[in-house]
Chains A and B, each alone.
Chain A
């Protein structure tokens, strides 16, 4: 296991590449999910307001 993590002495380069890539892909997906959630909430809020207006 330690040998695997050491990457033949190139650990900072190899893991620095793989982990940064993994991290950025996760950030991209989370940012997208956040954007979608807030938009959905906005649309629902508007729909509720419209429904209240119609009741009056």
Chain B
């Protein structure tokens, strides 16, 4: 292993991870506030209303970021769970467990904002079509993961069992993404793809991307903060914890 590799490996040691995360969180928190500030101002005030949907389209600025985060975070959670399961890296297990609540929250918000957007545009809060149903399944996968983790007392077994659930559930993510192509659905297709120019006005696109970034920064800050607490709970009797508590206040 190169020296550089060893340097990075250091951060998987609990005390180093704890310190590094502690240093990073304020930066991500500051970026979250700044990006949400700019994004909300642009989305609610600067961007013009839509010629068809009026002001109801403004829900897009939180509906799309929350839906993307719900899906991204699930994949990230499954990757960390797999790393924890295969290589027995404690930090990876902690990261997987720390992502779940935030992922579930964003998935719920995607469904909630979708319902409130569906009512004025489609006339209904909810339909059992492919996109909406697979998104609801994602929420249940998150909740199932969290429930399974909480139901098993032995920490290692809880981590292993829920890791398998997380990895199996990952097939649902491409199903959500492609559902609008594979089935006839009320939900519109993707307005933003990697291969084509976005089918929306530039100001709307830029605002949306700022809100997506804000959601990323928020997720990183909160997940790191939760991982730190999780780590402290596991290691509360370790020497390094006592050392750090001398200088730090709750």
Contacts and interface: CB of A to CB of B under 8 A. Distances in A.
**Mostly helix, strand, loop or mixed at chain B's interface?**
helix
Given A13-B120, A21-B113, A44 B222 contact: no
Interface string A34-46: 0111011111101
A13 B117 contact: yes
Interface residues of B, number: 38
B101 A40 contact: no
Interface residues of A, number: 29
Given A21-B109, A25-B218, A40-B245, 14 more contacts: A13-B120, A14-B55, A14-B56, A14-B59, A17-B63, A18-B62, A21-B62, A36-B228, A36-B250, A39-B229, A39-B236, A40-B249, A43-B245, A47-B245
Interface of A: 4, 7-10, 12-14, 16-18, 20-21, 24-25, 28-29, 32, 35-37, 39-44, 46-47
16 contacts: A8-B54, A10-B54, A10-B55, A12-B116, A13-B119, A14-B59, A20-B109, A20-B112, A21-B62, A24-B108, A32-B226, A35-B229, A36-B225, A36-B232, A47-B242, A47-B245
